[in-house]
């Protein structure tokens, strides 16, 4: 690339970046990007409230309990054994059940429910007729569980919907928007190669989407870790691949903007109505897990899914169709996935460069 | 580098709608006006010349450059379009500066050229106002400034005087003439014929997508054989002169002007008539002036296209 082209590309980016980032018709893209952040903020508030409740229960208990104490309770244990182990329950409910018996009078069963907490984890014990009937030990701070939740939101909302539609809104309008605003001639009357103009506009769009969605991704990570203690955050980030995962998610976000961006750039040049290609692409991406291996390669989500750091486990009993949708049945290595996206983008940009040279300024037919 | 703007058998169709058809033209330097009513193909011809639309057939060269080579073409071409839309949020200065920056020039050069262009169209005071807040005339002027900003060799101006007040019109006409005098190719489209008469060195007459005639207006007029040349003679005794004119074999129709201070004469051979006039105008008739009465664009257009299409 010679220095003139680079100077021209910088001029296009300078003009386009602000316009793309602050376009009034692109406000909904910010909403899409902000939704997962809001979800994690709400989640952090909910977990915070629950922790507060747990701390109050722990405070009211007879003993200072640990997680090991709570997990020592087993079904079938006697009520007295539980009290001996954990102390008198700080919160307890009781009720009586009249259980019908065939051929005889109803039997009365005394039920009790004890709530214990170590301040972080809650233990609910169901006691029937003096014996432990069921146990429910739950923790508000389960990083393993939360990272799966993060992976689910990232794959099924952030990649497939937020970035997909965000790129649609930004990249499809790079040239279509100019045609609709009747201002494309401004660029076409300048001494700049059409393909150089296209590259400048694409990079401006890429920069704008990366700013929006990488900011969202970083905020999501912050919001998702918000309710953890500093020690837990430190442990997760620096000793449990947390930082590495965050960097990989950022990289996947960037590659998603690149892949979907180049696709929607060429779609915006080839189609007047963006709804049709967007719908086809959305369906194609959605049915990707069900496609034969050869066809899967002509999809962006196929490569992105393979790059995601956390595999979403399929719960036992999930229907095979749904399980196929969740799991990545045909993963590929990270280098192949990255090269795949770069190739898809390169093909899309090549088609765009051919198309932009053929474009005419003919607003009356729009 | 070729020294002409050439169209070789160029046609442009928008689907089934004809833009221009079988146009072959050579446009030299100076002011050339594209004349025709709305829809005659003036803007299409200009858009073809600047590569905004591609010809369905034929080839166009602008001083040797192909029109699908914007990187080189727009170094020598400036186009003031009729499209009344601008990139959003820019002031007049930013509009010109951004346009110039697209050429890859450095910031200082672009700033200097922007201010020069702004001064040339007298928009200095409004330069830092948003273009969206400009009046129609100001928007016209900033478009002209955009076309002029990089000092192009070829100026393509689509209805450049629309929306301008009389003072601004005369300033712009002076500007076009100065550019033409420096050897520029100034191509102007207009449907206001008396305006074209004043400024053009040559005209291209268009009707329904076809070039009806091209060249210097007097040459075009002389080629129209079926309409006799009209000559206006101002004199002190028009009736007496009219009587004498009837005896001339070159005059085919003579009428007294309504102000009774001259007569209008039609002849098929103007040159021979002028020679004969000296003999006829003896006997004390004082001739004040003799001038062709129908070698203007309006008359030529009427002869070639018909009254109904002429926009006065």
Determine whether the interchain pair A358/B54 forms a contact, defined as Cβ–Cβ distance below 8 Å. yes
Q: Same domain, yes or no, for A40 and A184?
A: yes
Q: Same domain, yes or no, for A63 and A34?
A: no
Q: Same domain, yes or no, for A70 and A26?
A: no
Structurally, chain A folds into a number of domains equal to 2
- Among A265-279, A311-325, B247-261, which range has the highest average pLDDT? A265-279
Q: For tokens 């003993």, what's the residue?
A: A63
H-helix or E-strand spanning residue B95: helix B92-101
Q: Same domain, yes or no, for A41 and A132?
A: no
- The per-residue pLDDT for range A323-347, each reduced to its tens digit, is 766 766 677 899 999 999 999 899 9
Running DSSP on this structure, what letter comes out for residue B45? H
Q: Domain boundary residue among A139, A159, A182?
A: A139
- Say whether pLDDT at A238 is over 60: yes
Q: Domain boundary residue among A104, A139, A174?
A: A139
Average pLDDT estimate for B20-35: 93
Interface predicted TM-score (ipTM) of this complex, two decimals:
0.80
The whole-angstrom distance between A189's CA and the closest CA on chain B is: 7
Q: What pLDDT, on a 0 to 100 scale, did the predictor assign at position B282?
A: 60
Q: Same domain, yes or no, for A264 and A123?
A: no
Q: Same domain, yes or no, for A271 and A163?
A: yes
Mutate to test the interface with A, among B67, B71, B96, B97 (most CBs of A within 10 A): B71
Q: What pLDDT, on a 0 to 100 scale, did the predictor assign at position A366?
A: 46
Residue B53: list chain A partners with CB under 8 A.
360-362
Confidence of residue B147 (pLDDT cuts 50, 70, 90): very high
- Between A250 and A109, the more confident residue is A250
- Among A325-339, B12-26, B259-273, which range has the highest average pLDDT? B12-26
User: From B83, which residue of chain A is nearest by alpha-carbon distance?
Assistant: A182
Q: What pLDDT, on a 0 to 100 scale, did the predictor assign at position B251?
A: 80
H-helix or E-strand spanning residue A219: helix A194-225
Q: Domain boundary residue among A110, A139, A168?
A: A139
What span, in angstroms and rounded, lies between the C-alpha atoms of B40 and B192? Answer: 13
Confidence of residue B311 (pLDDT cuts 50, 70, 90): very low
Question: In percent, how much of chain A has pLDDT > 90?
Answer: 52
Burial-class residue A269 by CB neighbours within 10 Å (0-12, 13-18, 19+): buried
Burial B30-66 (b: 16+ CB within 10 A, else e): bbbbbbbbebbbbbbbbbbbbbbbebeebebbbbebe
Q: Same domain, yes or no, for A198 and A228?
A: yes
Residue B74: list chain A partners with CB under 8 A.
189-192
Lowest mean pLDDT, pick from A145-149, A312-316, A331-335, B109-113: A312-316
Show Cβ contacts of residue B6 under 8 Å, excluding neighbours closer than 6 positions.
B25, B26, B27, B60, B61
Q: How many CB pairs under 8 A join A and B?
A: 89
Determine whether the interchain pair A360/B75 forms a contact, defined as Cβ–Cβ distance below 8 Å. no
What span, in angstroms and rounded, lies between the C-alpha atoms of B254 and B267? Answer: 9
Average pLDDT estimate for B116-130: 94
Show Cβ contacts of residue B308 under 8 Å, excluding neighbours closer than 6 positions.
none
The whole-angstrom distance between B270's CA and the closest CA on chain A is: 47
Average pLDDT estimate for B279-301: 73
What span, in angstroms and rounded, lies between the C-alpha atoms of B258 and B261? Answer: 8
Beta-bridge partners for B264? B232, B255
Confidence of residue A99 (pLDDT cuts 50, 70, 90): confident
Determine whether the interchain pair B81/A4 forms a contact, defined as Cβ–Cβ distance below 8 Å. no
Confidence of residue B271 (pLDDT cuts 50, 70, 90): confident
Q: The CATH number of the domain where A103 resides is what?
A: 3.30.1450.10
Q: What pLDDT, on a 0 to 100 scale, did the predictor assign at position B301?
A: 74
Lowest mean pLDDT, pick from A314-323, A334-343, B28-37: A314-323
Q: Same domain, yes or no, for A38 and A65?
A: no
| Domains defined for chain B, CATH in brackets | 5-215 (3.40.50.300), 229-293 (3.30.70.100)
Average pLDDT estimate for A274-302: 87
Q: Same domain, yes or no, for A246 and A337?
A: yes
Q: Same domain, yes or no, for A101 and A11?
A: no
Q: List the domain range (segments joined by +) for residue A281.
A: 3-49+141-365
Q: What pLDDT, on a 0 to 100 scale, did the predictor assign at position B290?
A: 80
Phi and psi torsions of B25, nearest 5°: -145, 155
Q: Same domain, yes or no, for A20 and A135?
A: no
What span, in angstroms and rounded, lies between the C-alpha atoms of A162 and A36? Answer: 9
Q: At A168, list the tokens.
A: 């649609």
Q: Same domain, yes or no, for A154 and A178?
A: yes
- Between B179 and A22, the more confident residue is B179
- Say whether pLDDT at A49 is over 60: yes
Q: For tokens 């997962």, what's the residue?
A: A36
How high does pLDDT run on average in chain B? 86
């Amino acid at each position: 690339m010679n220095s003139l082209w680079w100077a021209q590309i910088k001029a296009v980016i300078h003009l386009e970046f602000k316009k793309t980032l602050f376009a009034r018709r692109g406000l909904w893209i910010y909403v899409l990007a902000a939704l997962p952040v809001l979800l994690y903020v709400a989640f952090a508030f909910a977990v915070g409230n629950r922790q507060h409740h747990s701390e109050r229960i722990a405070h009211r208990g007879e003993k200072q309990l640990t997680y090991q104490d709570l997990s020592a309770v087993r079904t079938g244990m006697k009520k007295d054994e539980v009290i001996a182990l954990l102390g008198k329950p700080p919160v307890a409910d009781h009720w009586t059940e009249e259980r019908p018996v065939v051929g005889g009078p109803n039997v009365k069963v005394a039920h009790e429910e004890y709530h214990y907490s170590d301040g972080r984890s809650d233990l609910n014990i169901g006691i029937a007729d003096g014996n432990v009937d069921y146990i429910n030990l739950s923790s508000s701070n389960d990083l393993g569980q939360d990272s799966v939740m993060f992976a689910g939101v990232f794959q099924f909302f952030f990649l497939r919907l937020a970035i997909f539609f965000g790129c649609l809104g930004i990249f499809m309008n790079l040239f279509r928007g100019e045609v609709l605003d009747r201002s494309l001639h401004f660029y076409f009357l300048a001494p700049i190669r059409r393909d150089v103009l296209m590259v400048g506009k694409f990079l401006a769009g890429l920069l704008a989407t990366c700013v929006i969605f990488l900011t969202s991704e970083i905020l999501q990570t912050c919001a998702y870790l918000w309710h953890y203690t500093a020690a837990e955050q430190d442990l997760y980030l620096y000793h449990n691949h947390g930082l590495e995962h965050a960097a990989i998610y950022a990289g996947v976000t960037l590659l998603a903007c690149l892949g979907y961006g180049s696709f929607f750039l060429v779609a915006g040049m080839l189609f007047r109505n963006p709804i049709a290609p967007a719908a086809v692409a959305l369906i194609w991406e959605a049915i990707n897990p069900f496609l034969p291996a050869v066809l899967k390669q002509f999809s962006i989500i196929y490569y992105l899914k393979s790059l995601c750091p956390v595999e979403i486990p399929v719960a036992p009993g999930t229907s095979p169709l749904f399980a196929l949708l969740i799991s990545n049945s045909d993963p590929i290595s990270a280098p192949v996935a990255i090269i795949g996206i770069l190739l898809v983008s390169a093909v899309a940009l090549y088609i765009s460069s051919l198309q932009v040279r053929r474009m005419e300024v003919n607003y009356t037919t729009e | 580098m070729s020294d002409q703007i050439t169209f070789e058998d160029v046609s442009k169709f928008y689907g089934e709608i004809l833009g221009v058809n079988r146009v072959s033209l050579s446009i030299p330097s100076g002011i050339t006006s594209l004349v025709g009513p709305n829809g005659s193909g003036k803007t299409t011809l200009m858009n073809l010349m600047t590569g905004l639309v591609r010809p369905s057939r034929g080839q166009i060269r602008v001083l040797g450059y192909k029109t699908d080579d914007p990187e080189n073409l727009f170094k020598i071409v400036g186009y003031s379009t009729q499209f009344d839309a601008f990139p959003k949020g820019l002031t007049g200065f930013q509009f010109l500066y951004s346009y110039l920056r697209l050429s890859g020039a450095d910031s200082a050069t672009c700033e200097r050229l922007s201010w020069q262009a702004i001064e040339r169209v007298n928009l200095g005071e409004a330069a830092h106002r948003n273009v969206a807040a400009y009046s129609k005339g100001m928007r016209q002027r900033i478009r002209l400034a955009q076309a002029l900003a990089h000092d192009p060799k070829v100026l393509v101006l689509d209805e450049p005087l629309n929306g301008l007040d009389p003072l601004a019109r005369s300033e712009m006409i002076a500007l076009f003439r100065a550019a033409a005098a420096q050897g520029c190719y100034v191509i102007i489209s207009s449907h206001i014929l008396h305006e074209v008469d004043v400024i053009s060195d040559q005209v291209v007459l268009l009707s329904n997508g076809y070039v009806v005639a091209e060249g210097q207006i007097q040459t075009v007029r002389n080629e129209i054989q079926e309409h006799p040349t009209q000559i206006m003679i101002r004199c002190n005794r028009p009736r007496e002169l009219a009587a004498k004119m009837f005896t001339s074999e070159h005059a085919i129709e003579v009428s007294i002007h309504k102000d009774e201070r001259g007569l209008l004469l039609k002849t098929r051979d103007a040159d021979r008539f002028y020679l004969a006039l000296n003999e006829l105008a003896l006997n004390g008739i004082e001739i004040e002036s003799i001038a062709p009465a129908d070698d203007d664009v309006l008359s030529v257009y009427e002869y070639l296209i018909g009254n109904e299409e002429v926009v006065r």
